[in-house]
Every structure is written in C-alpha cells, then in structure tokens.
C-alpha cells in the first residue's frame, strides 16, 4: 500500500542501531568517503562559490562546516554542501531510486551531527537510514515521476534527509511523522534545471529541507497525518503512476541502498559500462579498426553526442569517451575534460571508428561491444554496472578517483579519516571539508 510508506519511513528513522547490517554500513562509509572527495573537488565550482558566499553573507551561528571553508547554521551548511558535492555530477547513483543518495542526505546528516556534536559513526548510520528511505520512496514515486520532470535526487531526497536528521535528533514517533508530513510541502526539484547550476542546487535544497523539517518538528510543529501517501499528499500530487507494490516489505532485513554505484569516471554514468568493457580488453588504439557498441535505447538521447564541441559535451559522447579509453586518457580526473579535448584530431580519428546502436534487450546499466582489430580479429565483451563489485575493487576505485581529483595527500587524509571512523567525531569530518 502506498500509504504504508509513511509508517515504513517512521520505522526506518527509529530502527535500532543493532539492526543495521555491517555490509550496508560498509557501503555507507564508502559513500561518505566518495562524498567528501567529490565535495572537496567541487568546492571551487562557480555554483558552489555562489551558494557558499550567499549563506556566509547571511551569517549566523556557525555550528556546521562549509565545504571549502567557513561555518554556518545547519540549514545553510546543508544547502552549501549539497550543492558543492553535486557540482561535478561525480557522486554516487542508485539506479532503482533514479537518483543520487549521498548529495541530498549526507550534507543534512553531517550538519546536524556537527551541531549536536555527534560521532562520525552516527553520521554514517543516520545517512544509511536516510538513503534507504530516499531509495524506497524514489522507487514508489517511480519512473513516471522522473519522466514527468521531477528530480528524485531532490524530491525523494528531501524525505531521506528528513529521516537522517530525525534519527540524529532522536525524534519520537509523532515528531517524526510531523517532520515527514511537513517536508512533503517543501520537497521540490525539477529536471529542467539539468545542464545548469540548478541541478546541483537541487541536491542542496533537499538537504536543507530535511534539516529544517526535522528541527521544526522537534520544536512542536504540527503537520497533517500523512503528507506522503494521504489525500493530496506528495505521492498523489507528484506521481502519475506510483508503484503500489514498491518493495517496502523486506525492510529492515534488506537495504537496497547497498546497490548504490560509484562513478569512477568523470562523465555521464550511462557511458561507464562501455568504458569498463573497453578497459577490460586492454588494447592499443592503433590496433583498432572499429568499435560497435550496443546500449539500452534510453541512453541514445542522453550520451550519444556524435561531435562534441566542449569538454562538457565529451562527457556525454560514447564515441569520444571510447576514443579516450583507446588512447589511454585518464577518464577519472575531471580536469581531463577541457574544451581542447573536443578538438583533438587523434581522438577524432579514433571516435570515427565507433558506432552506437540501441538494444532494448540490454538493461540501462549494461553495454555490449564488438571490437574489430586491424588484423581482422573480432573481440566481444560486455559489462553490467549492476554486477556487485568486490569490496576491495570499490575501495581501490574510490581511492584512485580521489587521487585523480584531489592529489594523493588530501585523498590520503580523507581516506585515513573514514578508515578510522569509530575514533572520530562529526566535527572532525567537518574540519576536513573546511580544509582546516
């Protein structure tokens, strides 16, 4: 039942810590590290600067850290840090949720944890519960919500952020209900912002809305009984075809959040399976006569730009990215994607050998390709991002990405912090994000 969602979210926020599986906590710690890395890497992006300077100009009690420097009230810090960490669009993705869990929820959890001086481990647990809430609600809202034009990262994310903060503030059942019903009137975010500063800002508003709603509920704010599944609630107003069978029933035994995927390349997630497949062949571009890709047809509208004109457009170009892999370029470093890349004649020559076809039999996390060599061999290879990676492979990939984005020294400091999370406070996490 749809209206069951509210009860499940309340139960999630109040789940005993002992019920959290170690495997899910491990992934949540990976997400914390990856979120810190992409946040620090995005700190000087124009949109991050604009929001940080606006919040700094408001002033206020500096209880929570701003990525890139400074302190602010928790609501403002969540707005800044959500925006900064999504600025590069390099953060984690949950394909079932149709959204980015960390950038909406981690900033809310961290800001409030700093304010109340909670432990870093409490941030991880609150994030995990909030992320699970956003994934489940995102699935309930369904693909129709996304297709209509809503950005699940922001909409479902606001409810997840509320769950995370409710957890940290130890709200009672009635308070948690009020917080979730209240955020239903605040949650927003449109896909028409994609390609603009509005996309990362959407993550910031989700985080900020969660901080606000849970704090107001703690102060006695009364909202309606079920602002999510009730009459004219969030689902009725925002989802044309909600999934009444969204899998709430296996909670808390299974955390779907564990299916989250990390980006190891600084380009559109729809191209990553192709990149991994090509890398697995380990062939030099000079020996390649043709590359024939097959992908789920939905990606053809997203990341099949044939002749990119800018570095940003390269991030959405199968042909160019395939050429980069064949040429040995570092696809993990954001700085690789300068505008000169689109004018590189060597890459253009390699890209001209790539064809892309839609294949509805492939899921949207999979790519199959045939590589034809100059000496006439045909090599067939496929990759599906949905296949779970071994923990060690995730750790290796995240660490390499961090090195590429931040350099080894800063990456190492952040890694050490998260590796010893049990010994640290939320405020130490915040200090690392401030760069102090």
- Judged by the rule CB under 8 A, the positions of this chain that interact with a copy of itself are 46-47, 50-51, 53-54, 57-61, 73, 75-76, 148-151, 154, 181-182, 184-193, 195-198, 201-202, 205, 212, 215-216, 219-224, 227, 230-234, 236-237
> Is-contact 182 213, C-beta < 8 A?
yes
CA 205 from centroid of its chain's CA atoms: 14
CB of 388 to a copy of itself, least distance (A): 33
Q: Are 243 and 135 in contact (CB under 8 A)?
A: no
> Which region holds residue 381: left if phi is over 0, alpha if psi is between -120 and 50, else beta?
beta
In whole angstroms, give the CA distance from residue 214 to residue 109.
11
Residue with Cβ nearer a copy of itself (50 or 382): 50
**Three-state secondary-structure class, residue 326:** helix
Minimum CB distance to a copy of itself, residue 199 (Å): 9
Radius of gyration of the chain (CA): 21
How far is residue 42 from each of residues 71, 298, 319, 407, measured CA to CA in Å?
17, 28, 26, 14
Question: Whole-number minimum distance, CB 271 to a copy of itself, in Å?
Answer: 23
Burial of 112 (0-12, 13-18, 19+ CB in 10 A): buried
- Minimum Å distance from CB 3 to a copy of itself? 12
| Nearest approach, Cβ of residue 85 and a copy of itself (Å) | 17
In the structure encoding, which two tokens stand for residue 424, read together? 């640290």
Q: Which is nearer to a copy of itself, 51 or 66 (CB)?
A: 51
If the CB atoms of residues 151 and 424 are measured against a copy of itself, the closer one turns out to be 151
- The CB-of-147 to a copy of itself minimum distance in angstroms stands at 9
Three-class SS state of 261: strand
> In this complex, which beta carbon is closest to a copy of itself, that of residue 120 or of residue 182?
182
Residue among 212 and 276 whose Cβ is closer to a copy of itself: 212
Please state the closest distance from residue 161 (CB atom) to a copy of itself, in A.
15
Residue closer to a copy of itself, measured from CB, 217 or 341 = 217
Nearer to a copy of itself, 232 or 249 (CB): 232
H or E segment at 223?
A: none
């Amino acid at each position: 039942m749809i209206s069951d969602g509210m009860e499940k979210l309340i139960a999630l926020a109040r789940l005993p810590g002992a019920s959290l599986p170690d495997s899910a906590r491990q992934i949540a710690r990976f997400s914390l590290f990856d979120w810190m890395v992409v946040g620090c890497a995005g700190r000087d992006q124009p949109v991050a600067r604009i929001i940080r300077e606006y919040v700094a100009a408001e002033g206020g009690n500096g209880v929570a850290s701003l990525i890139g420097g400074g302190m602010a009230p928790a609501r403002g810090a969540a707005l800044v840090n959500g925006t900064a960490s999504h600025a590069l669009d390099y953060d984690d993705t949950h394909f079932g949720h149709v959204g980015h869990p960390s950038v909406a929820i981690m900033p809310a959890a961290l800001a409030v944890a700093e304010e109340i001086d909670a432990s870093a481990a409490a941030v991880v647990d609150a994030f995990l519960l909030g992320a699970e809430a956003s994934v489940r609600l995102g699935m309930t809202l369904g693909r129709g919500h996304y297709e209509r034009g809503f950005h699940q990262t922001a909409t479902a994310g606001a409810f997840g952020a509320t769950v995370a903060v409710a957890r940290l503030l130890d709200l009672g059942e009635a308070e948690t209900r009020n917080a979730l019903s209240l955020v239903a009137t605040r949650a927003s975010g449109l896909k028409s912002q994609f390609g603009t500063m509005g996309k990362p800002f959407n993550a910031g508003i989700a985080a900020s809305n969660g901080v606000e709603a849970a704090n107001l509920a703690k102060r006695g704010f009364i909202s309606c009984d079920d602002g999510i599944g009730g009459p004219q609630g969030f689902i009725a107003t925002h989802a044309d075809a909600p999934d009444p069978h969204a899998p709430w029933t296996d909670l808390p035994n299974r955390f779907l959040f564990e299916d989250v995927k990390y980006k190891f390349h600084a380009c559109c997630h729809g191209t990553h399976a192709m990149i991994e497949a090509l890398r697995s062949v380990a062939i030099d571009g000079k020996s390649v006569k043709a590359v024939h890709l097959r992908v789920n047809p939905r990606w053809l509208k997203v990341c099949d730009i044939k002749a990119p004109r800018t570095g940003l457009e390269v991030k959405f170009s199968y042909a160019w990215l395939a050429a980069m892999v064949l040429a040995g370029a570092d696809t993990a470093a954001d700085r690789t994607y300068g505008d000169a890349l689109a004018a590189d004649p060597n890459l253009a020559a390699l890209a001209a050998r790539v064809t892309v076809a839609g294949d509805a039999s492939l899921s949207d996390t999979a790519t199959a390709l045939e590589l034809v060599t100059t000496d006439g061999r045909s090599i067939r290879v496929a990759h599906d991002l949905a296949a779970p990676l071994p923990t060690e492979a995730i750790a290796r990939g995240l660490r390499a990405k961090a090195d590429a984005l931040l350099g080894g020294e800063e990456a190492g400091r952040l890694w050490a912090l998260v590796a010893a999370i049990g010994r640290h406070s939320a405020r130490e996490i915040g200090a690392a994000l401030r760069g102090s």
